[in-house]
Amino acid sequence: MNRFWAFVKKEFWHILRDRRTLLVLLGMPVAQVLIFGYAVTNEFRNANIAVLDQAHDDLSTELIYKLTASGHLRLATSVKDEKDIHAAFKAGTIKLAVVIPPRFATNLQREGRSTVQLLADGSEPNYASTLVAYANQMIADFQRERLAVAGGFLPSVNVSTRMLYNPELRSAYLFVPGVMALVLMLISAMMTSLTIAREKELGTMELLLVSPLHPLLIVVGKVTPYVLLAFLDGVLILTVGVLVFGVPIQGSLLLLLAMSVLYVLAALSLGILISTRAKTQQAAMMGSLVSLMLPTVLLSDFIFPLASMPLPLQVLGNVIPARWFIAILRDVMLKGVGWGYVWQEAAILGGMSLVFLVAAMKNFKVRLE
């Protein structure tokens, strides 16, 4: 038994001396609890809304204050007509619009009823339903408060709800763009992360190092075959989404395919960067899964709204390529926007591709260790 306990003690000291093992055993559980605790939630804060106040009276002002007082809804922009509302939706600056009709106070006081219209961005059906439900609750609270003020007379504020871009709130409109971004990221980055790692394991890296090719050309050569394959995967996902699930493509198909190529390049560049840092295929695959799959699902606006998360997670989410590609897919497919609305996201993806390729070239070892 003494020999056994001595062996166990030796194993404990071996684990304590290995920083990577300690990081996996102690750091990963804490990180996952924090990420899941803050990211996996249906709550929201500071959701951007717009209010079209056509009455400009005391009660309409009171209703606007009621909607924004709790901090869940934030008045992001002022609009003058419905054209401004649709432009704000397409630009992605708001998720909900409230339209207060003319003579709002007069109708409540004289006729005892009026109608408020809610317009929500249905491209994210779960989020839109939550926002509409909260707005309805705030309007109901407004009615109860007016009941107390009026001494028993209850004005009726009817709510008319309209879901833009996804009137039926079909979940496929949410999942097809998200799944496309996730699959392309995993296939592109994971497959390319194995390329240079495979050369190292098989011992064929020496042939590459003695070849007349510049390291940049070697990296680009490794990426090129996967560009076409990943692009074909993207076309296949779009085809299934349109034909099987009925997801529309309201915008330009050519623009959508061009943005898909740009995203594939960013994913492939990231995979090459991972492969230059990993020494084995197993390490490259684990690095791809840990660093890409979980953040792409949780922090890319795929399922959970990034705006409702703490600031550090928002910053982390903004450096994930899928976050910008999903925004492009929803805007082009569901909202029918053109280049003028997605050029910023495209520029960010292009910048990420360039940074990843340059970093991969810098990390490419021209000498064997």
Q: All domains of the chain, ordered by start, with CATH?
A: 47-164 (3.40.1710.10), 172-363 (no CATH)
Report d(CA 224, CA 218) in Å as an integer: 10
Task: Work out the number of other CB atoms within 10 angstroms of the CB of residue 35.
Answer: 17
213 — phi, psi (to 5°)? -75, 140
Report d(CA 15, CA 248) in Å as an integer: 53
Report d(CA 285, CA 275) in Å as an integer: 9
Tokens at 250, concatenated: 């309201």
Buried b / exposed e over 11-27, threshold 16 CB at 10 Å, is: eeeeeeeeeeeeeeeee
32: number of CA atoms within 13 Å, CB side?
11
Going residue by residue through the chain, which has 369 residues, state the pLDDT in tens, using 9 for 90 and above.
Answer: 677 677 667 666 766 676 666 666 666 666 666 665 665 666 677 788 999 988 888 888 888 888 888 778 888 887 888 888 988 998 888 899 999 888 888 887 777 788 889 999 988 888 888 899 999 988 888 888 776 665 555 567 788 899 999 888 888 888 888 888 888 888 888 777 777 777 767 766 666 666 676 666 766 777 777 778 888 888 888 898 889 888 899 989 999 999 998 998 888 888 888 877 777 777 777 777 777 777 888 888 888 788 777 788 888 888 889 999 999 999 999 998 989 889 999 999 999 989 988 887 777 654 445
Q: What is the pLDDT of residue 25?
A: 63
List, for residues 266-292, the tens digit of each pLDDT value: 888 888 888 777 777 777 777 777 777
**CB 270, CB 284: distance < 8 Å:** no
CA-only gyration radius of the chain, Å? 26
Q: What is the pLDDT of residue 111?
A: 75
Report d(CA 58, CA 63) in Å as an integer: 9
Buried b / exposed e over 225-241, threshold 16 CB at 10 Å, is: ebbeebbebbeebbeeb
Report d(CA 185, CA 182) in Å as an integer: 5
**CB 313, CB 35: distance < 8 Å:** yes
Three-state DSSP class for residue 162: strand
Q: What is the pLDDT of residue 368?
A: 47
